[in-house]
């Protein structure tokens, strides 16, 4: 049986580590390569880097970060943020990333998912989606709406429908990021995560709201997630990966305990 | 320690294997044709992708003949992922005739439990079923990173060295004489995975 994965999310701006809180304030807290290396040694299962660099002039800095991570971190990692074309995706894969993560660009141009999936294989393509709870409408029957541009632009698109469409287009995995839960550390959005996990047959990674070990337990059991994304609870050293895994292991969740 | 020749046949991202070997300070280089494989003292045969596509490129570049020659000469060879599948006689993926270095077939996962996802992707525990020098440091519960929809099934179970569970038991590492191959990715499996590459670099090709 596959182990449930703990994935650390590292937001990178101009080559430096940052953690967004409700996507409004960001505070740089160090070197992404050093952080990646430390988490790798501490037993992390997978990494995701989001490039939140504003200027496209500085995109090449990210390729350098990817390449340096790939030379010293030997677990899978994906890279997202600002990938608009198959060529953009190819660059980060060539630099050593295992997977690419597409979000806004995929909503604006769904064929990007199909093209990247065809070029690199479905297992390389992660569709990340930012979701906000809204009043259900005929267009958004689930009451979960897709938003883009870092949470600023609602799209009138139902999150459950978009998840299914993403799978049909060839995404190999989904990251479900709850804008409402992100940064609260009050727990993952269980209903959203479970609804999508039950609607698709590809792995689902829960994101946003993880603040305590039991939050991970809840989303990996009740939330039907295959993996949990964590950020601030690791970055601010509130818990170690060992502590998170011990908690899950003791409560009967299969996680990787040897490294 | 002799140099490892990495077979480059444009099957997926081969640089991760190179990076892992560089990190371990094991000399290595890519070779892109069967001719360049002559004189190789140690070979890694990686790859992800479709069996039929891979076989077509291997033949076009003369790797099919050169790999058989190297195998018959006793050169230590390690296959990874797709490299563990196309060393068998046949793959059900695209009904493809493969290299036939080990007799057997590759089958697609067909789990009865439809909640089990295909590809089998992520970390899973690997159990050693018979000793092998490359697997000598493995402990119960050690996990490796997998990404695959097909798995190798040698005709002779004595060619199976380790297994993994995904609803049912499937071979995770196979071998025959100087050929050893893993379905999982040691280069993406942390320190425990890197140790396998370390052991391969020092393996004399005997079991």
The pTM assigned to this predicted structure is 0.94
Q: Is residue A172 part of a domain?
A: yes
Complex prediction ipTM: 0.94
Contact A17, A36 (CB under 8 A): no
Q: Which of A98, A201, A256 sits opposite B117 (nearest CB)?
A: A201
Is the CB of B145 less than 8 angstroms away from the CB of A40? Answer: no
pLDDT of residue A29: 57
pLDDT of residue A22: 40
pLDDT of residue A232: 84
pLDDT of residue A30: 78
Where does residue A165 rank: exposed (0-12), middle (13-18), buried (19+ CB within 10 A)? middle
Q: What's chain A's average pLDDT? A: 92
Set A11, A45, A158, A182: catalytic member: A11
The domain of A49 spans: 5-250
Q: What is the pLDDT along chain B (207 residues), one digit of tens a residue?
A: 789 999 998 766 688 999 999 999 999 999 999 999 999 999 999 988 889 989 999 999 999 999 999 999 999 999 999 999 999 999 999 999 999 999 999 999 999 998 888 889 999 999 999 999 999 999 999 999 999 999 999 999 999 999 999 999 999 999 999 999 999 999 999 999 999 999 999 999 999
- Residue A121: closest CA among B193, B165, B156, B82: B82
A11 catalytic per annotation: yes
Mean pLDDT for A58-80 is 93
Q: Per residue in A98-154, pLDDT tens?
A: 999 999 999 999 999 999 998 888 999 999 999 999 999 999 999 999 999 878 899
The rounded distance, in Å, linking the Cα atoms of A76 and A171 is 17
B38 catalytic per annotation: no
Set B81, B98, B106, B164: catalytic member: B81
Structural domains in chain A (count)? 1
CATH, residue A125: 3.20.20.70
pLDDT of residue A150: 75
Give all domains of chain B, ordered by start, each with its CATH number.
4-201 (3.40.50.880)
pLDDT of residue A234: 86
Q: Which of A2, A72, A172 sits opposite B23 (nearest CB)?
A: A72
Mean pLDDT for A57-64 is 83
DSSP B105: E
Is the CB of B188 less than 8 angstroms away from the CB of A71? Answer: no
Beta strand spans in chain A (E): 5-13, 16-21, 25-30, 46-51, 77-80, 99-102, 125-133, 144-148, 153-158, 173-178, 204-207, 227-230
Q: Is residue A244 part of a domain?
A: yes
Distance from the B155 Cα atom to the nearest Cα atom in chain A, whole angstroms: 24
Mean pLDDT for A168-176 is 97
pLDDT of residue A19: 60
- Strands of the B179-182 sheet, one edge to the other: B28-31, B4-7, B43-45, B77-80, B179-182, B168-176, B160-166, B120-128, B143-148
pLDDT of residue A26: 47
CA geometry: angle at A136 spanning A131 and A138, to 5°? 110
Q: Is residue A194 part of a domain?
A: yes
pLDDT of residue A99: 94
Is the CB of A203 less than 8 angstroms away from the CB of B114? Answer: no
pLDDT of residue B13: 66
pLDDT of residue A24: 45
pLDDT of residue B48: 80
pLDDT of residue B12: 65
Residue A34 has pLDDT above 60, yes or no: yes
Is the CB of A96 less than 8 angstroms away from the CB of B15? Answer: yes
Is the CB of B143 less than 8 angstroms away from the CB of A258? Answer: yes
Q: Is residue A255 part of a domain?
A: no
Percent of chain A with pLDDT over 90: 78
Mean pLDDT for A70-89 is 95
Chain B residues within 8 Å of chain A (Cβ atoms): 12-13, 15-16, 19-20, 22-23, 48-49, 114, 117, 119-125, 139, 141-143, 145, 147, 165-166, 187-194
Q: Is residue A256 part of a domain?
A: no
Q: Is residue A257 part of a domain?
A: no
Q: Is residue A55 part of a domain?
A: yes
The rounded distance, in Å, linking the Cα atoms of A230 and A233 is 7
The rounded distance, in Å, linking the Cα atoms of A136 and B140 is 50
Contact B42, B4 (CB under 8 A): yes
Mean pLDDT for A22-40 is 71
Is the CB of B123 less than 8 angstroms away from the CB of A94? Answer: no
Q: Is residue A13 part of a domain?
A: yes
Residue A76 has pLDDT above 50, yes or no: yes
Q: Which of A40, A96, A226 sits opposite B190 (nearest CB)?
A: A40
pLDDT of residue A21: 43
pLDDT of residue A149: 83
Residue in B with minimal Cα distance to A95:
B15
């Amino acid at each position: 049986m596959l182990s449930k994965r703990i994935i650390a999310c590292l937001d990178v701006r101009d080559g430096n580590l940052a953690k967004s809180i409700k996507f409004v304030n960001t505070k740089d807290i160090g070197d992404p390569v050093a952080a990646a290396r430390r988490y790798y040694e501490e037993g992390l299962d997978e990494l995701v880097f989001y490039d939140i660099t504003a200027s496209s002039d500085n995109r090449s800095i990210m390729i350098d970060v990817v390449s340096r991570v790939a030379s010293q971190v030997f677990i899978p990692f994906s890279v997202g943020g600002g990938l608009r074309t198959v060529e953009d995706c190819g660059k980060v894969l060539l630099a050593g990333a295992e997977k690419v993560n597409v979000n806004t660009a995929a909503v604006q141009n769904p064929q990007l998912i199909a093209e990247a999936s065809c070029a690199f294989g479905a297992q390389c393509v992660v569709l990340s989606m930012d979701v906000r709870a809204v009043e259900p409408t005929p267009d958004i029957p689930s009451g979960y709406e897709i938003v883009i541009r870092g949470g600023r632009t609602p799209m009138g698109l139902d999150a459950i429908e978009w998840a299914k469409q993403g799978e049909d287009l060839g995404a190999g995995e989904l990251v479900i990021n709850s804008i409402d839960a992100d940064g609260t550390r009050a727990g993952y959005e269980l209903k959203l995560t479970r609804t999508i996990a039950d609607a698709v047959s590809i792995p689902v990674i829960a994101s946003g709201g993880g603040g305590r070990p039991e939050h991970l337990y809840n989303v990996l059991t009740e939330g039907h997630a295959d993996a949990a994304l964590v950020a601030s609870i690791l970055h601010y050293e509130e818990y170690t990966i060992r502590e998170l895994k011990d908690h899950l292991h003791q409560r009967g969740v299969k996680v990787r305990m040897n490294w | 320690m002799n140099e490892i020749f990495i077979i480059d046949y444009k099957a997926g991202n081969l640089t991760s294997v190179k990076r892992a070997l560089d990190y371990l300070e094991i000399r290595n280089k890519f070779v892109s044709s069967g001719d360049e494989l002559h004189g190789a003292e140690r070979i890694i045969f990686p790859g992800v992708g479709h069996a039929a596509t891979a076989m077509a490129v291997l033949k076009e570049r003369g790797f099919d003949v050169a790999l058989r020659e190297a195998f018959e000469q006793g050169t230590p060879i390690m296959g990874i992922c797709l490299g563990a599948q196309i060393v068998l006689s046949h793959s059900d993926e695209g009904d493809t005739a493969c290299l036939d270095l080990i007799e057997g077939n590759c089958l697609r996962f067909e789990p009865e439990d439809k909640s089990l996802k295909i590809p089998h992707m992520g970390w899973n525990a690997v159990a050693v079923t018979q000793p092998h020098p490359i697997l000598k440091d493995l402990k119960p519960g050690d996990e490796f990173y997998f990404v695959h929809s097909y798995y190798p099934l040698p005709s002779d179970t004595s060619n199976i060295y380790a297994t993994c569970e995904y609803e049912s038991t499937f071979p995770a590492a196979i071998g025959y004489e100087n050929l050893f191959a893993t379905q999982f990715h040691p280069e993406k499996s942390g320190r425990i995975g890197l140790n396998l590459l370390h052991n391969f670099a020092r393996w004399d090709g005997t079991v």
